[in-house]
A and B are shown apart, each in its own frame.
Chain A
Amino acid sequence: MSEQKQHILTEKEYQKIVKDKEPKRPVVRNCIRAFLVGGFICMLGQAISDIYIYFFNFTEKSAGNPTSATLIFISVLLTSLGIYDHIAQWAGAGTAIPVTGFANSMASAALEHRTEGYVLGVGSNMFKLAGSVIVFGVFSAFIIALIRTLVSMIGGA
């Protein structure tokens, strides 16, 4: 044993072994699940919106905000009860993409950093995950608006 020179495995060789052994990410399964759960959340949103329209005299346009608020409330509630992350493990992007995912990212960060106080903990960490969504969301919206304005200016001239 002691006399044997050990075979030196290169990084590339090892990375290949890891790749071969690593379980493949079930992309198709994840897509189907995301489609089902994401679709279900949208359906729920539609139902909530209809309720606001038929029972509370909202119009199709004005029902949007209370519908989002209701979905956000449900998401925050499920996050605080420790259920949302379990659903998300099953659903993946299905729970991450709708407004519920955004609410979950903020609520979970707020809960997590509650122990560091309201200002330095909750306040400054709440957007830890959601912050980049806002930054790039606002930025892309700006670019799109700019393009649209330019197009209409050219079209108008």
Chain B
Amino acid sequence: MKAGKQTWIFDNRPTILATAVVGGPREARGPLAEDFDLLHDDLLFGEKSFEKAERKLLEEACELAIRKADLKQEDIEFMLAGDLSNQIISSTFTSRGLAIPYLGLFGACSTSMEALALGALIVDTKFGNNVLCGTASHYAAVEKQYRYPTEYGSQKPDTAQWTVTGAGAAVLGQAGQGPQVVSATIGKVIDMGLKDPFNMGAAMAPAAVDTISAHCQDLDITPDHYDLIATGDLGRYGHALTLELFPKYHIDMPREKYVDCGMMIYYEHQPMLFAGASGTACSATVTYGHILNRMRKGELKRVLIVATGALLSPMSYQQKESIPCIAHAVAIEYSE
């Protein structure tokens, strides 16, 4: 059912049957290491290229999630996945191995919640019973795609972010026990004319606030409705800007309830951290690992995940275009 302008309410409450998160060496040294199902201690995982390594992350996360849901590959009817590589090769190549009907998505770092929202829509409308949603990103593959060679000695400003090496996958099924996807707000592309690709948090913050505002208006609720509201990867400066923007959008956001996944996955003292973490895997690993684990432990009942994405390309940046951004919000509730 559609509510308001851009929100879907899932009356049949699709359930997240299982999730799996995989990470790299830097994530293994971070504060959320225990929430990962599998951690690798180098960046290549025995593969020949970083692109293959990224694919391996997604393959592992998908296979683990299916296994944890007590299902077989054949039981999964649809797969929704995306990543940051050109032509989303990691997702496509992963689905080649899994042989599940597949829809490839690109929403930059918002892909995690884009996939979950669409997956929930498929399950809610009973167009499918078991749907797999996954995303992956790999630090070195993303640097190569968007920026400079990884070993190139360029000085990055404090507003830069570090891409998460990891993957997160979730298996959605018909109503049952556990975390349930209750609603989703599809974001609009927002462009405030910012052009600095080393300050994506600032570019994405208005998109996050716009989507949160739309979500609250469409459902006629306040942020207080949730125990936790997490944005995807705004980082320290983006997070601070968001707090500044809430009053302007007339959102009464309780400070202690609002977190950013990009500030959670690493310790502040980890080297070359800059403003925090980013990448499609940032919101996916933190949500499917840490946040859902907290829900399973009973610490959180209702959460809103607002995955943010900067929809630029290296070429659009070179052609002096500004950075269009998007945010998709998915509300998850825990049902005993």
Contact = CB atoms under 8 A, between A and B. Distances in A.
Contact of A7 (B222, B244, B250): B250
Contacts of A92: 155
A84 B153 contact: yes
Interface residues of A, number: 42
A11 B203 CA distance: 11
A2 B217 contact: yes
A6 B213 contact: yes
SS class, residues of chain A in contact with chain B: helix
Could you say which of A6, A96, A128 has the most chain B C-beta atoms within 10 Å of its C-beta?
A6
Contact of B249 (A6, A101, A109): A6
Contacts of A80: 151
Nearest to B48: A115
Contacts of B150: 85, 108, 112
A89 B149 contact: no
Contact of B217 (A1, A30, A105): A1
Interface in B263-316: 271-272
Could you say which of A1, A101, A111 has the most chain B C-beta atoms within 10 Å of its C-beta?
A1
Size category, B interface: 35 or more
Given A14-B206, A15-B194, A22-B199, A85 B241 contact: no
Contacts of B51: 115
Interface in A92-136: 92-93, 95-96, 101, 104-105, 107-109, 111-113, 115, 128-129
Interface of B: 4, 48-51, 144, 148-159, 192-194, 199, 202, 206, 213, 216-217, 220-222, 237, 240-241, 244-245, 248-250, 271-272
Interface of A: 1-2, 4, 6-7, 9, 11, 14-15, 17-18, 21-23, 25, 30, 79-80, 82, 84-89, 91-93, 95-96, 101, 104-105, 107-109, 111-113, 115, 128-129
